[in-house]
Every structure is written in structure tokens, then in C-alpha cells.
Homo-oligomer: A and B are copies of this chain.
């Protein structure tokens, strides 16, 4: 998963995205490893590295990446959108205490959808989110 500059560029091209400097910077941060980052976190990490990318560009770029299927948007926290660099099908565990996300492999949760959706619509995605909080005892 850790990808070097060239692999990232190739990945962008593969998704029909012109690889500009700041897009490559952002993609490198995202694809360092499987992770869930908010736009603000991406901004901080990109600029901690070296290059400087503006806030607007980070937002626009993350939106573009999501639209092109490079990353997955995760809506679990009303306060912010997370971008998930793990493209394999999986579910999420959300720690409401600290606003942290964790992946859950599909093998751990079984969802059988019986197929009676309204006519004229196509499924864009199925999200399964398990919300947890620290239980009184441990931790």
C-alpha cells in the first residue's frame, strides 16, 4: 500500500485524474496506508511533509478523488467527512467517544439484502456502521 510518487501518479492517471503537484502530494498522504482522514487532517499532514497546499485545494481534491472512486467518503460524524483510502469492500466501526474510525472486514459482518428497492433507482453503496462507546468497565 505505501506508494511512491510514480505509483501514485499512475494511480491518478488510471482514474482519469490529471496528476498535478498538489494532487500527488495529497494522494501520497492518503495512500501511505489504509486510513481514515478528515479534510483538515489531510491538510495538516500534507503541509507537515513539505509542499504547501491550500485548504480549498484539499477540499476540492478530496471531492474529486471521491467522485472518481480513488477514495471512499465515510459519513458517520455530523461534524466532518472522512476519506477512506481502503478501497476493498468493508464496514466501519465508529468510536463515538473520540470520533475515530476502524475498518471491519466484510467477513465479520454478513448483510443479506432482500431486493425490493423502489423502482428506478440503482444502489450506489451499502454502508454498515457499528457505533461503539467505551463501556464503563475496561479502558
Q: Smallest Cβ distance from A105 to chain B, in angstroms? A: 10
Closest to A128 in B: B128
- What is the total number of copies of this protein in its complex? 2
With contacts A75-B76, A75-B78 taken as known, whether A130 is within 8 angstroms of B109 at the C-beta atoms is no
Q: Which label, helix, strand, loop or mixed, suits the secondary structure of the A interface?
A: strand
> Is the CB–CB distance between B108 and A121 below 8 Å?
no
CB nearest to A73 among chain B residues: B78
Instruction: Beyond A119-B139, A120-B134, A125-B130, list 14 extra A-B contacts (CB 8 Å).
Output: A73-B78, A75-B77, A75-B78, A93-B118, A102-B118, A108-B116, A110-B114, A120-B135, A120-B138, A121-B135, A122-B133, A124-B132, A127-B130, A128-B129
Q: Which residues of B contact A78 (CB under 8 A)?
A: 73, 75, 78, 81
* A131 CB contacts on chain B under 8 angstroms: 123-127
A112 within 8 A of B: yes
Chain B residues with CB under 8 A of A110: 110-112, 114
Size category of the binding interface on chain A: 35 or more
Q: Is A95 an interface residue (CB 8 A)?
A: yes
Contact of A96 with B by CB under 8 A: yes
Q: In the bound complex, what is the Cα–Cα distance between A102 and B133 (angstroms)? A: 27
Known A77-B75, A108-B114; contact A129-B130, beta-carbon cutoff 8 A: no
